[in-house]
Amino acid sequence: MKRREFIKVGIASGIASATGLGLSDELIAQKDLPYDLIAVKGGEPQDMFDKGIESLGGMSRFVKKGQTVVVKPNIGWDVTPERAGNTNPHLVKRIIEHCFKAGAKDVFVFDHTCDDWLMSYKTSGIEEAVKSAGGKIVSGASEKYYRKIKIPKGIRLKEDKVHQLILDSDVYINVPILKNHGSAKLTISLKNQMGINWDRRYWHKNDLHQCIADFATKIKPDLTIVDAYRVMQTRGPRGVSVEDVTLLKAQIISTDMVAADAAATKFFGLEPKDIPHIRIAHEMGVGNMEIEKLRIKRIQL
């Protein structure tokens, strides 16, 4: 069944407080699987994903033989991985490898970039990573790739144009990088979905936080992986230099992007309610930002 059918029916203190994401040992110790969220720290991106997806039931829980998968990283900027403006290419590569191991027929990767898309794909290292893993990197730079959808639950966003890969693929995996953002305070998985729509300007001009939440009432990934290996502390979303970046070596994996974003706020010493679009998405029923109610597994490498 295609996704279009489903659619229809202050960082240092943050790192310290986020070691367990504010969770009790009793909650973490729950043995029922799958967990709502996996939090991994201390390893390289590919190794953290190996451990994390295993604890969530393996990629075969999400990808079946013969299915088409779209992986959506942040590839918005013509900057190198050390600048932490885009999703880590090693993580993207490993996700694709897991998809094929699970039996995927095709794995597509794209973003509607802010800088020139050809340069962003190349400089980020993601184009090379995708190709080396056997995936297909495609453009998001033309309106012809987008189709209009209705958003019945939207407050400010009643319709939008969405990349056809999101609508036509069997599985959609959202892979944002966690970083500071001048307009949205933080950009994580909810905000990363701006890269699958065409008219970003409308969102910025018509209550950005509400539009982010509105869109998520209609379009939801099957799996969210938050890249917090290198984290841009300030001057986001593009950043200026490596001086803006902290090496955090963390990753969050969940089927609930609101929960994933809520957990990720802790790395900045914030609460989920401090980010308006997370709070609004929670209130609109997109997902759960109440971390204390989630079944979470911590992994330290």
Sequence-separated contacts (24+) of 271-276 with Cβ below 8 Å: 274/185, 275/184, 275/185, 275/186, 276/185, 276/209
Inter-residue contact 17 to 264 (CB < 8 Å): no
pLDDT per residue rounded down to tens, the chain (301 residues)? 455 443 333 444 444 444 444 433 333 333 445 799 999 999 999 999 999 999 999 999 999 999 999 999 999 999 999 999 999 999 999 999 999 999 999 999 999 999 999 999 999 999 999 999 999 999 999 999 999 999 999 999 999 999 999 999 999 999 999 999 999 999 999 999 999 999 999 999 999 999 999 999 999 999 999 999 999 999 999 888 999 999 999 999 999 999 999 999 999 999 999 999 999 999 999 999 999 999 999 999 9
pLDDT for the residue 10: 42
Q: pTM score, two decimals? A: 0.91
According to DSSP, the β-strands at 68-73 and 171-175 are parallel
Four-CA torsion 49, 10, 185, 194, nearest 10 degrees? -10
Inter-residue contact 217 to 286 (CB < 8 Å): yes
pLDDT for the residue 264: 98
Q: What tokens does 295 get?
A: 């079944």
For 16-26, give one letter per residue: b (16+ CB within 10 A) or e. eebebbebeee
Domains, the chain, ordered by start: 3-300 (3.40.50.11440)
CA distances for 109 relative to 129, 137, 162, 197, 200, angstroms: 10, 5, 15, 14, 19
